[in-house]
Amino acid sequence: MTQHSGLAHPGSGAPLRRLCDVAVAIAVPAGTAPLVPSPSDGTADLTSAVALVVDSAVGPGVYGERMATPPAGLAFCVFPTVIGHCALVWRAPGTIVGSALPHGSADRTRDAVARWYPAARETTPDAVIVTAMAEVTTLLESGTGDLSGIALDLDVVPAFDRRVYHVVRMIPPGATLTYGEVAARLGAPGAAQAVGQALGRNPFPPIVPCHRVLAAGKQVGGFSARGGRRTKLRMLEREGVHLEHPTLFDL
């Protein structure tokens, strides 16, 4: 088994990974939430053309890199989902510090965690994290579920980004907002570009469901996860959102 810089694998890595897989399998799935129409407040999104590209410019590990003194006991686990191997990073007592959507393989997802959170160690998850893993798995598989009960560590997240994430966490499966609509709900209707930048730094996908935020005219917009807009469309379609006539530029 290949060892990766910055990670400590106790003993053989394979048994630990199997434990993570089993943990997801035995957890109780999250309850479902109804699909609702996409809300619209009619806000003009004049700057979202820029937001199409800014949210792919900065990786979500930017906050991990800002931790001058990483919290003690930072841990992570990689787990399988229908779209690939995701990861959760946490600290005691089960507060999520970051997460990762698939990077093409389990090892590549581990490598991303190692870059973003070099103090984290791969660990068998406790009951709180097992539940969070199961809720994420259910959402990605069925497009239903409520992740709002998962506790997030926002200590190093700037105030504006926190406000963006708070609004975006309130978007249920099956609904969407545009960058401009999120900005309007923040009381800053001209801040669509800043919203896009904050979502590009989102360290908590899909717990903070940035895939539910679109460009003006309900176009796909940007997405910084592997697969880009195709991944975003796939996640939205599982939640019952079918965008009309996506263009080659959108994909």
Q: How far apart are CA 98 and CA 152, in angstroms?
A: 8
Q: Which stretch of 9-13, 64-68, 197-201 has the lowest confidence by average pLDDT?
A: 9-13
Would you state the CATH architecture of domain 48-60+158-238?
A: Orthogonal Bundle (1.10)
Residue 14: pLDDT over 60: no
Residue 17: pLDDT over 50: no
Would you state the CATH architecture of domain 13-32+62-142?
A: 2-Layer Sandwich (3.30)
Q: What is the pLDDT of residues 135-163, one digit of tens each?
A: 999 999 999 999 999 999 999 899 999 99
DSSP annotation of 99: E
Mean residue pLDDT across the chain: 76
pLDDT at 16: 43
Q: How many separate helices (H) and strands (E) can be counted in the chain? A: 9, 6
Q: Which residues are catalytic?
A: 210
Q: Give this prediction's pTM.
A: 0.73
Task: Give the domain ranges of the chain.
Answer: 13-32+62-142, 48-60+158-238
Residue 249: pLDDT over 70: no
Between vectors from CA 151 to CA 232 and to CA 213, what angle results, nearest 5°? 25
